[in-house]
A and B are shown apart, each in its own frame.
Chain A
Amino acid sequence: MATSHAQKVGRWALAPSLAALTVWAFVPLAIAIYFAFLRYNLQSDNTGWFGLNNFYYFVNDPYFYKDLFNTVALVLSVLAITIVGGTGLAILLDQPFWGRGIVRVLMISPFFIMPTVSSLVWKNLLMHPVFGLFAAIQRFFGASHVLDWFGTVPLLSVIIIVSWQWLPYAALILLTALQSLDLEQKDASMMDGAGPVSFFRYIVLPHLSRPITVVILIETIFLLNVFAEIKVTSVGGFAGNLTYLVASQLNEATDIGEAAAGGLIAVVLANLVSIFLVRIVGKNLGT
């Protein structure tokens, strides 16, 4: 137990970072809230109080429901892929094999590549219907008609690209967590008659539930903001998300008020999605 003196010192020690955090997080949010209620369009002089109209127009944008769906679909699919795949990769990388150190370093490299760059690589070198590796593979197996990824399955294409970027992150966090699992637990569960599947289900997964929650929270924040991948691959019209919609309000329609309203809606959505996901993990993994 900390003494009251220690608590007081602790509070003062925390104060600067709290102040910085407040300025950092709160000021932009406050400005966004303020703008969201203004008529504020760079193409018009007519500014002033606008009530809930910005929200009304954003929600009634012809793209709104489609982009809302895309946002949620993108977040959920990438989360599912990176967590399931990341758990699998983490278990593989936890096994002793030759060159494990190097493989682990290589693993994280997609995470260091700028989203714009990796999107370009995926767009032009892998998924391109003429020059792309995937098309070449299809043709090698005798396909006369190759898949036009961005034309036929734009959302899936974005999901694949984003998953590729986030898989190493999830795998690395989960690998670190796996390494902290006490090996005697494995021995004990074997003595108790648990096979590999039961060991995974009853010992490993609950052990991973907290790191999985962390991965979900952090990834959700970033995945709601996916933009470069959609912009670079020019699939915004079909696979755009709310971030993309906000950006088009800003850039194409220059409507700052409506963009701010859209941003607030996205913030609320982000919170709803993460609360919902964390609940699910807590219920199913933590026994």
Chain B
Amino acid sequence: MGKIKLNKVRKAFGEAVIIPGADLEIKEGEFIVFVGPSGCGKSTLLRLIAGLEDLTSGKIEIDGRDVTDTAPGSRGLAMVFQSYALYPHMSVRNNIAFPLKMAKMPQTEIDAKIAKAAKTLNLTDYLDRKPGQLSGGQRQRVAIGRAIVRSPQGFLFDEPLSNLDAALRVNMRLEIMQLHQDLKATMVYVTHDQVEAMTMADRIVVLNRGNIEQVGTPLELYNKPNSLFVAGFIGSPKMNFVEGNTIGVRPEHLDISDKKGEWQGTVKLSEHLGSDTFLHVDGGKRGQLTVRATGESQFGPGNKIWMTPQKGRLHHFDAQGRATK
């Protein structure tokens, strides 16, 4: 349960076409991530699936059932919002109970479900507090609690971690992945952070101005990006593009030497991360290049170095930015 199918889904706000036409099949139990720069239409696409926006044209099916005109509450989906969207005047308990109350579930059953969810999410001690008395991470948990109690077939997350600090973000990332393993429900997760996408996703959908650029596993996108856009968006630091954007090579796929190689350049800056060193190199006519050296690099600003792309690690693009070969 939890198969979602988008069929030529199109969305325009007045004159502005935000999603020109999206086709996508999300498999049962899959963790799928929509990634793309801010404003590319990720939230809009998610809200279309949720039923919070009407389609301009096209069709959405869940488990073979056409839900294009079905109310949000009847699609069997739950959503976690970026700002959590908790009900401020209700206690944590009533927040989590709300969807069950709307479903007219008997009170004893509601109590049991809340107790269970609170235990899973470490919220038992906070059930009688109001959202305003909780930390960001706790609010996030309440939002997740409100989503899981209904046992939906699919979860929709809209940048749920973007309001948390870095350490908490890593923790919550793991918790959400753990939740996915436990519940085995389909999860659609929106983020602009490609690291989040790479680490969490079974499959990634890269969006560019409302168009689906590429769909694939994280490693497929990393190894075989089918466009300049995907190549530049996936991977950190960003891929280097040379020869008028027709050839790309990732910073970690350049071998360096002080004696010989294919491309010459001068180190301008070096960033030491401990495990790696990022060298920012002036490559002359090739422009600015980034090189990732493992461990502590012997090279520093001012050094002249040679860089050689590893075999089979070059990416070729045509003038339209499509990958060739």
Q: Which stretch, B98-106, B200-208, B295-303, B308-316, touches the partner chain A?
A: B98-106
A190-209 contacts to B, CB under 8 A, are 190-195, 198, 202-203, 206-207, 209
Chain B residues with Cβ under 8 A from A286's Cβ? 89
Q: How far is the CA of A248 from the CA of B86 in the complex (A)?
A: 55
Known: A192-B98, A194-B102, A287-B94. A184 touches B85 (CB 8 A): yes
Q: By the criterion of a CB under 8 Å from any partner CB, how many residues of chain B are at the interface?
A: 25
Give residues 33-91 of B contacting A (CB, 8 Å): 47, 50-52, 71-74, 77-79, 81, 83, 85-87, 89-90
- Check A189 for interface membership: any CB of B closer than 8 A: yes
B139 at interface by CB-CB < 8 Å: no
Q: CB of A182 within 8 A of chain B?
A: yes
Q: Are B102 and A198 in contact (CB under 8 A)?
A: yes
With a cutoff of 8 Å between Cβ atoms, the chain A residues found around residue B71 in the complex are 190
Please indicate the chain A residues that have their CB under 8 angstroms from the CB of B74 in the complex.
193
Does B99 lie within 8 Å of A192, measured CB to CB?
yes
Looking at B47, B52, B87, B103, the one whose CB has the most chain A CB atoms below 10 A away is B87
Cβ–Cβ < 8 Å partners of B10 in chain A: none
Chain B residues with Cβ below 8 Å from A191 are 50, 52, 72-73, 77-79, 99
Judged by a CB distance under 8 angstroms, whether A27 is at the interface is no
B246 → chain A closest CB, angstroms: 44
Q: Cβ of B85 and Cβ of A207 under 8 Å apart? A: no
Q: How far is the CA of A207 from the CA of B90 in the complex (A)?
A: 10
Tell me whether B87 and A203 are in contact (CB under 8 A).
yes
CB distance from B89 to the nearest CB of A (A): 4
Is A188 an interface position by the 8 A CB rule? yes
Does any Cβ of A come within 8 Å of B280's Cβ?
A: no
- The answer to whether A184 touches B89, judged by C-beta atoms less than 8 angstroms apart, is no
Establish whether residues B89 and A207, one from each chain, have CB atoms under 8 Å apart when the complex forms.
yes
- Whether a CB of chain B sits under 8 angstroms from the CB of A94 is no
* Chain A residues in the interface with B (C-beta under 8 A): 182, 184-185, 187-195, 198, 202-203, 206-207, 209, 286-287
Name B residues whose Cβ lies closer than 8 Å to a Cβ of A. Answer: 47, 50-52, 71-74, 77-79, 81, 83, 85-87, 89-90, 94, 98-99, 102-103, 146, 150
Given contacts A187-B52, A192-B146, 16 further A-B contacts (CB under 8 A): A182-B83, A184-B83, A184-B85, A185-B87, A187-B47, A187-B79, A188-B85, A188-B86, A190-B51, A191-B50, A191-B79, A191-B99, A194-B98, A203-B87, A207-B89, A287-B89
